[in-house]
Amino acid sequence: MRLTQEYDQVRSVIASNSAASDASAKLLSGREIQAAINDENTLLLEYSLGEQRSFLWAVSHNGVLSFELPKRSVIEEAVLALTRALRPEQRRNVGTLRINAPGDTADVQKLAQRLSEILLSPAARQISSAQRLVIVPDGPLHYVPFSVLPKWSGLVTAAQPVTKTVDQPLVAAYEITVLPSVSFLLAARNRLSTFPAPAKTIAIIANPVFEKEDGRLLGPRKSLAAPQANNEQNRPSANTTLASVFRDLDLESSDTLPRLFSTQREAKIIESLVPRSESFLATGFDANRSVFTSNKLSEYRIIHIATHGFFDSAHPELSGIVLSLYDQQGRQQNGFVQIQDIYELKLNASVVVLSACQTGLGKNVKGEGMTGLPRAFIG
């Protein structure tokens, strides 16, 4: 905690001293932004929320159009309503799991349609002509699941504007990418061009061991020794982090994480899609921190991780995923991978799949966009 506070203080100093450098930083011109859309089938949707009014810019290979949207407070209200409906406070228990109470589907559809009307309908004609959408959100829009918003029908005639949505989520009709900024897109392209493509296809990490009562721990039970000291004394202890994980996962228990049985099947199905020589599979005890932080993953173009995730809203840099907390001898080990660990990885992957709860969350930092697990993986 002390180091975290010192880190926050350093960030504040950097922010206060960076005004001059920000003023001289090169901003992309409209032509440069348009040039970033390097094919006729891609449309960039960039949002900017304001106190009195907001804006949407639709940038294609052929031109730039702007649309006025409602003020920030109206959009925030619509975003909050949808996110609350997607994760209602009232739930019912099923064993050790909790699932959404029934009867929420109609509300979600109605709220999603309302948000789609605000964010997408002004540019429906341009969207209907595209095949790929690159979306740059602003503020609370980082929490919007754009992929599930309903698609608008576009113009029927020149005299008749958009009139209705179609019964189809956006993801069913478009390839969708959400990015922090256009500058980031250009930097990512440049970075990828300097790295050779990995030779192998996919690495899968799934179904870790979280509990000492896990059936995969065979043999006589041994006393669980504390994790051995290493070079990570400054990181939160396993017990402290585990407590935050339970809080964030909204679990009633305070000493175990439930096993994710379906992730084993998930991993096996994915592995079966490619030749064995092109894949790497780490499950159970092998789905551990040592494997994740090794150079092994740098050999693969796709990385798929299926486990528990957790998000720390106060200090997003402490967010992460949980891998095996026990080894084959039943000894406790550090299984937490946090954002700072991910930044230190040397990955060449073009796709990283985070099949875990709360991995889409983050903290919106002015000038940086959404900071969270996805941002750590993409640079």
Each residue's pLDDT tens digit, 192-246? 666 677 889 999 999 999 888 888 886 544 433 333 434 343 344 444 455 555 5
- Confidence label for 84 from pLDDT (cuts 50, 70 and 90): confident
| Distance (Å, whole) CA 47 – CA 179 | 11
Percent over 70 (pLDDT), the chain: 63
Measure CA of the first residue to CA of the last residue in the chain; give whole Å: 25
List of domains in the chain:
29-193 (no CATH), 200-217+234-377 (3.40.50)
Query: What is the SS3 assignment for 47?
Result: strand
Contact 35, 21 (CB under 8 A): no
**Regarding beta strands 165-169 and 175-178, do their DSSP bridges make them parallel or antiparallel, or are they unpaired?**
unpaired
Determine the Cα angle at 17 with ends 16 and 18, to 5°.
Answer: 95
Determine the Cα angle at 179 with ends 175 and 185, to 5°.
Answer: 95
Q: Is the pLDDT of residue 254 over 50?
A: no
Contact 114, 78 (CB under 8 A): yes
On whether the pTM is more than 0.85, the answer is: no
Q: Is the pLDDT of residue 155 over 60?
A: no
| Distance (Å, whole) CA 146 – CA 116 | 8
Each residue's pLDDT tens digit, 262-321? 899 999 999 999 999 999 999 999 999 999 998 888 899 999 999 988 776 666 677 788
